[in-house]
Structure 1
Amino acid sequence: MTKITINKFAAKKIRQGISVLDVRDFSHENYADGFAALYVDKTFLTNAYFSRQNKGVGWTIETTDFVQLFKTAKAKRQNYFNDELTTAFRIFNQDGDGFGGMTVDIYGNFALFSWYNSFIYSLKADILNAFRQVFPEILGGYEKVRFESKLPISSHIFGETSPDKLTILENGVKYQVFLNDGLMTGIFLDQHEVRGALLDELAVGKDVLNLFSYTAAFSVAAAMGGAVSTVSVDLAKRSRELSEAHFKANGLALENHKFHVMDVFEYFKYAARKNLTFDLIVIDPPSFARNKKMTFSVAKNYHQLIADSLPILNKYGKIIASTNHAGLTREAFLTELSKGFGTQKFDIIKEFSLPADFVTNPCDPHSDYLKVFVLEIKT
């Protein structure tokens, strides 16, 4: 194993529990892809591996015993395995479960592995062997390659193959997912507590607008939770077909549920012209987006989404404001939201972060990237 001496700043972060290795802490001559032992002042500090990815240049690790890592991760999520109403959830979440660079999600009888750097991908055979020992009940596996390479983005990697559209359950609601079709699966599992709140209480009797709706999972949860109507807006042409499939899977008639394939900012203008108003608006944009007219950044432009929502929000209306931008702190996100509200007063009536199956590193705030606020207009 390569021995690498690190600076005191890097050592301090590691001692504080930060697992991500940052490029600023290492010179390019000091590391190459692979395992390494990190030293500071000639004293061993920890083991790690190096491999570039979007979060940095590698991770500290405590063990390479993947069987034990998977056993521990499985035990943490026993409640999810025992829940007959939910069949899709995360069972391994990077450094939250002791090994950064990969995640594993369960979709019914199938597992989906996401690889975030080339070195952990090189360990795939050992990881899959350990996984199949610990999870013999899983019938088949798929992978998503989330680092730059010439590899296929999405592939079947072991066992049985999934139907092209696989039906899973979440809180008793049916969703159709696709495991071997690009990087997306049709649902963002980290939002299942927010969808649960829509199902249980937030949507009943409401007219709901779902912006950046993707496959309208929030809208389906709202409809199943008693919403009077839903409107789902997304720029992707495929969104309508995928959204309608979710509604049909749950036996929901489409008369009171509309789908618009259009830019969200254009929809605000459309809604104003048509005098459309809503009791609840869900705003869950990508961290960054670009179309022909503008570039959108959550950190810089989210306030405009709030400002444009207020004219079409009914009295005492609510906004569910969400972001998965890891680099945006809770405080900075609230500041951006407040900027959008201007002089309009609001209360935070509910707040969500990552659910329990998305185990995080408690020492690293960036590990818990999800920030969701339910905001109620004050009059």
Structure 2
Amino acid sequence: MSKLVEIQLNAQGTVALKKGYPLILKDAVMTSEVHAEEGSLLRLTDRYHKFLAKGYYGKQNKGIGWVLTDNENEEIDFDFFDKKMTTAFERRVSYMEDPDTTAFRLFNGEGDGIGGLTIDYFDGYYMVSWYSEGIYAFRHHVYNVLDKRAEYKAVYEKKRFDSKGQYVEQDDFVKGTPGDFPIIIKENGMQFAIDLNDGAMTGIFLDQRDVREAIRDEYAEGREVLNTFSYTGAFSVAAALGGATKTTSVDLAKRSVAKTIEQFSVNGIDYEQQDIKVMDVFDYFRYAKRHDMKFGLVVLDPPSFARSKKYTFSTAKDYPMLMKEAIAVTEKNGIIVASTNNASFSMKKFKGFIDQAFKETNMRYKVLEESSLPKDFRTPRDYPEFNYLKVVIVQKLK
């Protein structure tokens, strides 16, 4: 039995934990100093030293760790990880059995009971992401469970945590037979090239699967499409497969061109019939307005924070400005897919950004649909802040 470091929570922290809040916040702790090392197991108590829960210490964003169990007799050992991971895998059996989708999230952190840990599945390859040094200390349990419960071609990992003040974005082969990348995965019948050994650029954001399907099946047909902050052009692929007359993909990263060409090519789409621009998105908006260009569908999915030579962009303060630029180049009755993965504000506030932009441009609009994370990205039901993805699809009426 491992020795537990006791941490007393204040009244507010105690109430939150009892209600099922999984993140241990810095300001929930009674003392200003916490004497624990990354990966230490915690005994969380109220101000009277009464047991509340067990967790682990691992700094991640505004938290210092995650709650693991409210059962005082439950050990945090291999059996604990085996139970949590096996339950999560069983929840995704329908994805495993779907021949048209071979990439999805198998384990989603706090939604599946272990904050700071995610596991993605890519057609037999497993990608384990660690979000703190604390959870990384338990890697032997996680990999032993995969050995016991999963049939894998190979396992890769990404370390996404601060290490001695430096942010780490590191990927590594762990075990199995190394992949010959890119591999081709399927998503609702679409194909995407994936590289699990190429830094942050795996090739696709799995949390946008439902949005790509909606673009292909509901919104792209007969429309000219502008895909901003296009990354590897996955939205453009979905639009082209959905019958778009043409797509334009705009991203500041030079490597996005080769990646976007690759994604078009694996789907049998002639990339030379599409436009791929290496440009600052705001410069492209100015270019489009100067040439009186209009689009039937505009996709806005910016990073939460971005810096270029000219400016710094933050969705928390600049999304209304971005939305106004999109409105200006969207034709009457055109569609705007507005998306953000910024967890610092709610869906209500995000819809307020959209409303503000339309009001300031004296335009009317209609909300066609709104969505958040797909079902495989399981989150705590009572705490919407962990369901970070917000997508609102609107139609410009005037």
* TM category, shorter: over 0.9
Distance in 2 between residues matched to 1:377 and 1:132, nearest whole Å = 51
> Quick check: 146-155 or 256-265, which moved more?
146-155
Flag the 1:259–1:51 CA change in 2: closer, same or farther, 3 A: same
Name the structure 1 match of 2:157. Answer: 143
Name the structure 1 match of 2:379. Answer: 360
Task: Give the drift of 1:100.
Answer: 0.4
Name the structure 2 match of 1:66. Answer: 81
Q: Spell out the pairing of 1:113-152 with structure 2 (5 A cutoff).
A: 113-135=128-150, 137-149=151-163
Name the structure 1 match of 2:9. Answer: 6
Name the structure 2 match of 1:371. Answer: 390
Q: Secondary structure at the match of 1:17?
A: coil
Distance in 2 between residues matched to 1:245 and 1:258, nearest whole Å = 14
Match of 2:57 among 44, 50, 53: 50
Task: Give the drift of 1:42.
Answer: 2.6
Q: Secondary structure at the match of 2:322?
A: helix
In the TM superposition, what whole-angstrom CA distance separates every residue of 1:242-283 from its partner, at most 9, and x where no partner exists?
A: 001000001101243110000000001111223321000000
Match of 1:248 among 247, 258, 265: 265
Distance in 1 between residues matched to 2:240 and 2:54, nearest whole Å = 49
Are 1:20 and 2:23 matched, yes or no?
A: yes
Distance in 2 between residues matched to 1:255 and 1:165, nearest whole Å = 21
Are 1:260 and 2:277 matched, yes or no?
A: yes
Name the structure 1 match of 2:44. Answer: 38
Flag the 1:161–1:28 CA change in 2: closer, same or farther, 3 A: farther
The answer (yes or no) to whether the contact 1:210–1:281 under 8 Å persists in 2 is yes
Match of 2:187 among 157, 170, 176: 170
Structure 2: 5+ residue runs without aligned partners? none
Name the structure 1 match of 2:205. Answer: 188
Flag the 1:159–1:350 CA change in 2: closer, same or farther, 3 A: same
In the TM superposition, what whole-angstrom CA distance separates every residue of 1:45-73 from its partner, at most 9, and x where no partner exists?
A: 11111111124110000263111111100
Distance in 1 between residues matched to 2:154 and 2:163, nearest whole Å = 24
Q: Secondary structure at the match of 1:158?
A: strand
Task: Give the drift of 1:10.
Answer: 0.4
Distance in 1 between residues matched to 2:159 and 2:85, nearest whole Å = 20
> Quick check: 267-276 or 139-148, which moved more?
267-276
Name the structure 2 match of 1:90. Answer: 105
Q: Secondary structure at the match of 1:333?
A: helix
Are 1:320 and 2:337 matched, yes or no?
A: yes
Task: Give the drift of 1:28.
Answer: 4.1
Q: Secondary structure at the match of 2:33?
A: helix
In the TM superposition, what whole-angstrom CA distance separates every residue of 1:113-137 from its partner, at most 9, and x where no partner exists?
A: 00000021111111100122111x2
TM-score (norm 1): 0.97
Higher relative contact order (CA 8 A, sep 6+): 1
The answer (yes or no) to whether the contact 1:39–1:46 under 8 Å persists in 2 is yes
Flag the 1:208–1:152 CA change in 2: closer, same or farther, 3 A: closer
Task: Give the drift of 1:184.
Answer: 2.8
Distance in 2 between residues matched to 1:175 and 1:30, nearest whole Å = 45
Write out the 4+ residue segments of structure 1 that deviate beyond 3 Å after TM superposition: none
Amino acid at match of 1:267: Y
Name the structure 1 match of 2:363. Answer: 344
Task: Give the drift of 1:29.
Answer: 2.5
Task: Give the drift of 1:152.
Answer: 7.3
Flag the 1:76–1:55 CA change in 2: closer, same or farther, 3 A: farther
Amino acid at match of 2:310: K
Task: Give the drift of 1:183.
Answer: 2.3
The answer (yes or no) to whether the contact 2:221–2:244 under 8 Å persists in 1 is yes
Distance in 2 between residues matched to 1:308 and 1:362, nearest whole Å = 35
The answer (yes or no) to whether the contact 1:323–1:372 under 8 Å persists in 2 is yes
Task: Give the drift of 1:334.
Answer: 1.1
Name the structure 2 match of 1:289. Answer: 306
Distance in 2 between residues matched to 1:28 and 1:166, nearest whole Å = 48
Name the structure 1 match of 2:178. Answer: 161
> Quick check: 194-203 or 336-345, which moved more?
336-345
Q: Secondary structure at the match of 1:36?
A: strand
Length, aligned pairs only: 378
Q: Spell out the pairing of 1:268-283 with structure 2 (5 A cutoff).
A: 268-283=285-300
> Quick check: 304-313 or 354-363, which moved more?
304-313
In the TM superposition, what whole-angstrom CA distance separates every residue of 1:183-241 from its partner, at most 9, and x where no partner exists?
A: 23111000000001112111111111000000000000111111111000000010010
Amino acid at match of 1:174: Q
> Quick check: 145-154 or 6-15, which moved more?
145-154
Distance in 1 between residues matched to 2:86 and 2:200, nearest whole Å = 27
Distance in 2 between residues matched to 1:195 and 1:114, nearest whole Å = 23
TM-score (norm 2): 0.92
Amino acid at match of 2:379: T
Distance in 1 between residues matched to 2:52 and 2:300, nearest whole Å = 43
